[in-house]
């Protein structure tokens, strides 16, 4: 999480606190919190199903979990999908992921490639 925080230029200032469901809380002030859920994807090139399908399935699975979070504690809820390495072709396919705002409890969904430090925004409300 710290690595994402260092790489994301729009990261709000605040104290990052480990938590459970979601994984972290970013305390911006006494009453302003951002919940951050992290998940990782295995080596995309070694999985039989398409890269985009993998990402969409992960997001859908995390969306089901997000419904159980206590949203009274957080004003925003972020999801960060992390991979160690993706090919240029897989990176280009990220643009085909179309997420509509009303379908998700998350206010932001990111894909973070640890190898290149590239962050792709898949959803921003």
Any idea where the domains of the chain sit in the sequence?
74-97+107-125
Tell which wins on pLDDT, 12 or 67. Answer: 12
Sign of CA dihedral 121, 96, 101, 58: negative
Q: How deeply is 60 buried, as exposed, middle or buried, from its count of CB atoms within 10 A (0-12, 13-18, 19+)?
A: exposed
State how far the Cα of 33 lies from the Cα of 27, in Å rounded to an integer.
5
Q: Output the average pLDDT for the chain.
A: 88
What stretches of 57-117 adopt beta strand conformation (E)?
76-83, 108-113
> What pLDDT digit, counting tens, does each position of 68-118 carry?
886 667 899 999 999 987 888 888 888 888 787 778 999 999 999 999 999
Per-residue model confidence (pLDDT) at position 85: 79
């Amino acid at each position: 999480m710290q690595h994402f925080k260092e790489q994301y230029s729009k990261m709000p200032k605040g104290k990052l606190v480990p938590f459970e469901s979601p994984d972290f809380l970013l305390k911006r002030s006494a009453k302003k919190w951002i919940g951050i859920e992290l998940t990782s994807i295995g080596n995309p090139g070694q999985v039989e199903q398409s890269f985009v399908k993998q990402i969409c399935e992960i997001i859908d699975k995390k969306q089901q979990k997000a419904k159980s979070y206590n949203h009274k504690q957080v004003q925003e809820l972020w999801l960060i999908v992390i991979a160690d390495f993706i090919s240029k072709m897989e990176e280009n396919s990220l643009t085909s992921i179309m997420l509509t705002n009303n379908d998700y409890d998350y206010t932001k969904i990111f894909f973070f490639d640890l190898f290149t430090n590239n962050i792709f925004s898949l959803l921003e409300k």
